[in-house]
Chains A and B, each alone.
Chain A
Amino acid sequence: SQKIEQNSEALNIQEGKTATLTCNYTNYSPAYLQWYRQDPGRGPVFLLLIRENEKEKRKERLKVTFDTTLKQSLFHITASQPADSATYLCALSTGTASKLTFGTGTRLQVTL
């Protein structure tokens, strides 16, 4: 069966450092991989989307890589700030309007 794992349930880093989150999947051939941010008691908020034929995407302090050979995506937040503290979810789909399958999530805590 399909499995999407985010390697750390929780990640603590110091302000100013780069946070790197990992998303690994098995038994899946996604065409799209997305990253979302979720704050407690709220719905997820879309951050970035990367296609299977793309290696890297950037948006401001965010960077996503996608390696379909390794079946892995890395999500980086550079110059992290306490306001970046949240749960980050990766999600895979086979089409832009297809259902999303979510990973297990990583709770990021950025401290001063």
Chain B
Amino acid sequence: GAVVSQHPSRVICKSGTSVKIECRSLDFQATTMFWYRQFPKKSLMLMATSNEGSKATYEQGVEKDKFLINHASLTLSTLTVTSAHPEDSSFYICSARDILGRGLGYTFGSGTRLTVV
């Protein structure tokens, strides 16, 4: 079945530094990938839609200069949290769907737990 690999699974960084999270579709291609943020015991909040070869579409209230998204190929999207602060600590999850429309639903990565100290 479709697999999305997300890396790293956990990262701890110092305030002011930047962190890059990778999301790869392993056995399918995706023109669109989605990035979510999840707080403890809360639901997933969509941050942005990553579009291969073009700019990402950000949800209202999400700072595009803080959360940089790059979708350079049909199998890779990256989210960079720039100048991270403790309030950016959260669980970040990506998802994708096969460009060929095989299967139903979306495939999610296993998530990245970001802790900013």
User: Hey, which bits of chain A sit against chain B, CB under 8 A?
Assistant: 34, 36, 41-47, 49, 89, 96-97, 99-105
Contacts and interface: CB of A to CB of B under 8 A. Distances in A.
For chain B, what secondary structure do more than half of its interface residues adopt (helix, strand, loop), or is it mixed? strand
27 contacts: A34-B104, A34-B106, A36-B105, A41-B91, A41-B113, A42-B110, A42-B111, A43-B93, A43-B108, A44-B44, A44-B95, A44-B108, A46-B104, A46-B105, A46-B107, A46-B108, A89-B44, A96-B97, A96-B104, A99-B34, A100-B46, A100-B95, A101-B46, A102-B45, A102-B46, A103-B43, A105-B43
Contacts, number: 56
B104 A97 contact: no
A49 B43 contact: no
A104 B41 CA distance: 9
Nearest to B48: A99
Interface string B77-108: 00000000000000101010100010011111
Interface of B: 4, 6, 32, 34, 42-46, 49, 91, 93, 95, 97, 101, 104-111, 113
A63 to B, nearest CB: 16
Closest 6 CB pairs of A and B: A46-B105, A43-B108, A49-B104, A102-B44, A102-B43, A43-B93
